[in-house]
Every structure is written in C-alpha cells, then in structure tokens.
Amino acid sequence: MSKKKADAFTAEQDVLKEARQALNNTGSERQTLADSFSVLCDEYEKLLEEAKFLTKVSDKLESKLNKANEELVSKNENLTTEVESKESQLGQTLLTNKNLRKEKSALDDKQNQLQMTLIIIIAVLLIAMVVFIWLFFKMSGDVDSLTKSNEDKKAKIEQMAKDIDAANASNKANSKDEKAKQPKEE
C-alpha cells in the first residue's frame, strides 16, 4: 500500500489499537471497556457510512463508465461502418475514375485518328488545288497558244477563202469571157 492509503486509515487504526489494549488489559474497569467499545462503535459507524458513500459513488462511476464504454463501442461500430462505407465509395469512385480514364483514352485515340484523317484530307485537297492551279495555268498557256494557232488558222482560212473567192471571181470572169467568145465563133 502507498503511504497515502496507510495515512488515510491511521486514525481508525489508532482507535482499534486502543480498544484492543483496553480489552487485553484485564485490570481495566468495565467503564473503560465500555468507553473504548463506544468509541470503537462510533468509529465503525463512520467507517461504514463512508464505505456506503464510497460504494454508492463507485457504483455511479461504474454506471457512467459502463454507459461511456457502451457509447464508445457504439461509436466505434458506427465509425467502422462509416469507414467501410467510405472505403466502398472510394473503391467505386476509383473504379469510375479508371473507367473514365479508359473512355478518355479511347476518345483521345479517336480524336487523334480524326485529326490525322483531316490532315490527310487537307493535304490531298492542297495537292489537288496545286495540281488544278498548275493545270489551269498550263491550259491557259495552251489556250493562248491554241487561240493564236486558231487565229493563224482562221487568218489562213480567211486568206484561202479570199483566194478562192478571187479565183472564183477570176473563173467567172474567164467563163464569161469564154461564153462571150463562144457565140462569136459560131
């Protein structure tokens, strides 16, 4: 026992010692024994009241401790349930995030394919435009040369038509002369 607990009962131990001494002392008078017994009874009654009080306080404290322990157990169970729920939610969230990442990756792949397709289409269109422009200018030059060639041919045809007209006119004149000469010869 610690010194404090031993010191708390020092007075009671002294009363008990005195009562035993009076009992052991055979030469003690009956009044001394009665007085010692009376003191012993009074001290015992105080001790009993203190024991009852301490037991009552102890019972209340034990009841409070039991309630607090039950609350702690209940709260612990609630926390465990809540933690499990949060872990489940976290697992679902992680799974959802994983699926979303996969979908995003697939969409990114599709986007990259579309971009490459657009780049190829634009490149083909640019090449077609360059070829078209080149052909346009080439044909423009060819048209100019064809136009000149056609103008030359047209000029030649017109010249030939004039020559033919002149030849026809000449032939008509000759034919008139010959007709005019023919009746004279007859």
Give the pLDDT confidence score for residue 8 in this predicted structure: 67
Give residue-wise pLDDT tens across range 5-54: 556 678 778 877 887 787 777 666 777 778 878 888 888 888 888 889 99
Give the pLDDT confidence score for residue 1 in this predicted structure: 45
Rounded to whole angstroms, the Cα distance separating 108 from 121 reads 20
Rounded to whole angstroms, the Cα distance separating 13 from 1 reads 15
Rounded to whole angstroms, the Cα distance separating 16 from 47 reads 12
Q: Which two tokens stand for residue 150?
A: 């056609």
Residue 165 domain-assigned (yes or no): no
Across 119-144, average pLDDT: 86
Across 110-126, average pLDDT: 94
Across 113-124, average pLDDT: 94
Residue 183 has pLDDT above 60, yes or no: no
Residue 102 has pLDDT above 70, yes or no: yes
- The domain tally of the chain equals 1
Residue 60 domain-assigned (yes or no): yes
19: exposed, middle or buried (Cβ count in 10 Å: 0-12, 13-18, 19+): buried
Q: Which two tokens stand for residue 39?
A: 């003191």
Residue 75 domain-assigned (yes or no): yes
Residue 46 domain-assigned (yes or no): yes
Residue 166 domain-assigned (yes or no): no
Give the pLDDT confidence score for residue 72 in this predicted structure: 94
Residue 13 domain-assigned (yes or no): yes
Residue 49 domain-assigned (yes or no): yes
Give residue-wise pLDDT tens across range 70-93: 999 999 999 999 999 999 999 999
Report how far apart, in Å, the C-alpha atoms of 24 and of each of 18, 33, 34, 155, 167 are. Answer: 10, 10, 13, 173, 189
- 88 contacts: CB under 8 Å, gap ≥ 6: none
Report how far apart, in Å, the C-alpha atoms of 15 and of each of 23, 45, 54, 134, 167 are. Answer: 12, 13, 21, 132, 178
Range of the domain at 15: 3-124
50: exposed, middle or buried (Cβ count in 10 Å: 0-12, 13-18, 19+): exposed
Residue 181 domain-assigned (yes or no): no
